[in-house]
Amino acid sequence: MTQLQDPQIITHDAVPTAVVRDQVTMADLPGLYDRAFTAIGPVLEEQGVQPAGAAFGYYLSMPTGSFELEAGLPVTAPIADAGEVVASELPAGAVARATHAGAYDTLGESWGALVAWVEEQGRTVTTRMWEVYVTDPSPEMDPATLRTDLFILLDD
Protein backbone atom coordinates (compact mmCIF):
# COMPACT_ATOMS: atom_id res chain seq x y z
CA MET A 1 0.00 0.00 0.00
CA THR A 2 1.42 3.35 -1.01
CA GLN A 3 1.80 6.07 1.56
CA LEU A 4 1.65 8.79 -1.10
CA GLN A 5 -0.83 11.61 -0.46
CA ASP A 6 -2.15 14.49 -2.54
CA PRO A 7 -0.09 14.31 -5.76
CA GLN A 8 -0.30 17.47 -7.86
CA ILE A 9 1.60 19.41 -10.50
CA ILE A 10 2.70 22.88 -9.43
CA THR A 11 4.98 25.68 -10.58
CA HIS A 12 7.99 25.86 -8.27
CA ASP A 13 10.07 29.00 -7.85
CA ALA A 14 13.85 28.69 -7.49
CA VAL A 15 14.91 28.61 -3.83
CA PRO A 16 18.44 29.51 -2.68
CA THR A 17 20.02 26.82 -0.51
CA ALA A 18 23.06 26.07 1.64
CA VAL A 19 24.21 22.49 1.08
CA VAL A 20 26.89 19.89 1.41
CA ARG A 21 27.19 17.99 -1.89
CA ASP A 22 28.70 14.53 -2.22
CA GLN A 23 28.74 11.33 -4.27
CA VAL A 24 27.10 8.71 -2.03
CA THR A 25 25.36 5.36 -1.82
CA MET A 26 22.17 4.72 0.17
CA ALA A 27 24.32 3.39 3.03
CA ASP A 28 26.20 6.74 3.12
CA LEU A 29 23.07 8.89 3.56
CA PRO A 30 22.97 9.11 7.37
CA GLY A 31 26.63 10.18 7.47
CA LEU A 32 26.12 12.83 4.78
CA TYR A 33 23.07 14.26 6.52
CA ASP A 34 24.87 14.35 9.89
CA ARG A 35 27.91 16.03 8.30
CA ALA A 36 25.80 18.55 6.38
CA PHE A 37 23.59 19.70 9.23
CA THR A 38 26.54 19.95 11.62
CA ALA A 39 28.43 22.13 9.10
CA ILE A 40 25.61 24.32 7.73
CA GLY A 41 24.36 25.89 10.98
CA PRO A 42 27.64 27.63 11.90
CA VAL A 43 28.10 28.91 8.31
CA LEU A 44 24.62 30.45 8.29
CA GLU A 45 25.20 32.04 11.68
CA GLU A 46 28.59 33.44 10.61
CA GLN A 47 27.10 34.90 7.41
CA GLY A 48 23.93 36.23 9.05
CA VAL A 49 21.64 34.15 6.83
CA GLN A 50 18.52 32.46 8.19
CA PRO A 51 17.05 29.06 7.25
CA ALA A 52 13.86 29.49 5.23
CA GLY A 53 12.30 26.08 5.72
CA ALA A 54 12.80 22.41 6.50
CA ALA A 55 15.87 20.32 5.71
CA PHE A 56 15.98 18.53 2.36
CA GLY A 57 17.87 16.06 0.22
CA TYR A 58 18.24 17.01 -3.47
CA TYR A 59 19.15 14.17 -5.83
CA LEU A 60 21.26 15.45 -8.72
CA SER A 61 21.29 12.00 -10.32
CA MET A 62 19.07 8.94 -10.00
CA PRO A 63 19.55 7.26 -6.59
CA THR A 64 20.86 3.94 -7.87
CA GLY A 65 24.25 2.58 -6.87
CA SER A 66 26.36 5.70 -6.37
CA PHE A 67 24.65 9.06 -6.90
CA GLU A 68 25.17 12.78 -6.31
CA LEU A 69 23.15 14.36 -3.51
CA GLU A 70 22.89 17.76 -1.86
CA ALA A 71 21.81 17.76 1.80
CA GLY A 72 20.88 21.18 3.09
CA LEU A 73 18.51 23.92 4.03
CA PRO A 74 16.63 26.57 2.04
CA VAL A 75 17.91 30.01 3.01
CA THR A 76 16.61 33.58 3.02
CA ALA A 77 19.55 34.81 0.88
CA PRO A 78 22.35 33.18 -1.11
CA ILE A 79 25.41 32.28 0.95
CA ALA A 80 29.11 32.52 0.15
CA ASP A 81 30.77 29.11 -0.17
CA ALA A 82 32.56 28.16 3.05
CA GLY A 83 34.52 24.91 3.01
CA GLU A 84 32.24 22.03 2.14
CA VAL A 85 29.11 24.18 2.63
CA VAL A 86 28.24 25.67 -0.75
CA ALA A 87 25.52 27.82 -2.28
CA SER A 88 23.03 26.04 -4.51
CA GLU A 89 19.32 26.19 -5.27
CA LEU A 90 16.25 24.06 -5.71
CA PRO A 91 15.17 24.58 -9.32
CA ALA A 92 12.32 26.55 -10.80
CA GLY A 93 9.84 24.93 -13.13
CA ALA A 94 6.94 22.54 -13.33
CA VAL A 95 7.20 19.91 -10.62
CA ALA A 96 5.14 17.03 -9.38
CA ARG A 97 4.66 17.28 -5.62
CA ALA A 98 3.20 14.88 -3.08
CA THR A 99 3.50 13.95 0.58
CA HIS A 100 4.90 10.66 1.84
CA ALA A 101 3.37 9.62 5.16
CA GLY A 102 5.46 7.23 7.20
CA ALA A 103 8.92 5.88 7.76
CA TYR A 104 11.88 6.73 5.55
CA ASP A 105 12.40 3.08 4.63
CA THR A 106 9.24 3.17 2.50
CA LEU A 107 10.11 6.39 0.62
CA GLY A 108 11.08 4.36 -2.47
CA GLU A 109 7.51 3.07 -2.80
CA SER A 110 6.12 6.61 -2.69
CA TRP A 111 8.66 7.83 -5.25
CA GLY A 112 7.58 4.99 -7.56
CA ALA A 113 3.91 5.87 -7.05
CA LEU A 114 4.60 9.56 -7.77
CA VAL A 115 6.47 8.78 -10.99
CA ALA A 116 3.62 6.48 -12.09
CA TRP A 117 1.09 9.22 -11.29
CA VAL A 118 3.08 11.76 -13.34
CA GLU A 119 3.15 9.38 -16.31
CA GLU A 120 -0.62 8.87 -15.98
CA GLN A 121 -0.94 12.66 -16.36
CA GLY A 122 0.92 12.43 -19.68
CA ARG A 123 3.97 14.24 -18.29
CA THR A 124 7.67 13.30 -18.25
CA VAL A 125 9.93 13.33 -15.21
CA THR A 126 13.59 14.39 -15.12
CA THR A 127 16.30 12.93 -12.89
CA ARG A 128 16.13 15.97 -10.57
CA MET A 129 14.13 15.26 -7.43
CA TRP A 130 14.13 16.31 -3.79
CA GLU A 131 12.68 15.35 -0.42
CA VAL A 132 11.73 17.94 2.19
CA TYR A 133 11.73 16.50 5.70
CA VAL A 134 8.63 18.20 7.12
CA THR A 135 8.78 16.26 10.40
CA ASP A 136 12.03 16.27 12.36
CA PRO A 137 12.82 12.67 13.26
CA SER A 138 13.69 11.78 16.84
CA PRO A 139 14.54 8.45 18.51
CA GLU A 140 11.33 8.38 20.59
CA MET A 141 8.87 9.22 17.80
CA ASP A 142 6.58 6.83 15.94
CA PRO A 143 7.95 6.55 12.36
CA ALA A 144 4.35 6.41 11.08
CA THR A 145 3.99 10.10 12.01
CA LEU A 146 6.85 11.23 9.73
CA ARG A 147 5.89 13.49 6.81
CA THR A 148 8.19 14.00 3.82
CA ASP A 149 7.24 16.16 0.83
CA LEU A 150 8.45 14.77 -2.50
CA PHE A 151 9.22 16.92 -5.54
CA ILE A 152 10.32 15.86 -9.02
CA LEU A 153 11.14 18.31 -11.79
CA LEU A 154 9.18 17.71 -14.99
CA ASP A 155 10.69 17.75 -18.45
CA ASP A 156 7.68 19.30 -20.18
**Domain limits, the chain:** 4-138+145-154
Could you give the percent of the chain with pLDDT greater than 90? 79
Q: Which CATH number fits domain 4-138+145-154: 3.20.80.10, 3.40.50.12240, 2.40.160.40, 3.30.465.10?
A: 3.20.80.10
For residue 29, which phi and psi values (nearest 5 degrees)?
A: -55, -50
Indicate the DSSP class of residue 128: E
For 38-60, write each residue's pLDDT tens digit.
Answer: 999 999 999 999 999 999 999 99
The 10s digit of each residue's pLDDT in 58-95 is 999 888 889 999 999 999 999 999 999 999 999 999 99
- Report residue 119's pLDDT band, with 50, 70 and 90 as the boundaries: very high
Residues facing residue 82 across a β-bridge = 85
Whether 2 has a pLDDT exceeding 70, the answer reads no
Distance (Å, rounded) from C-alpha 142 to C-alpha 139? 9
Of 77, 109, 111, the closest CA to residue 97 belongs to 111
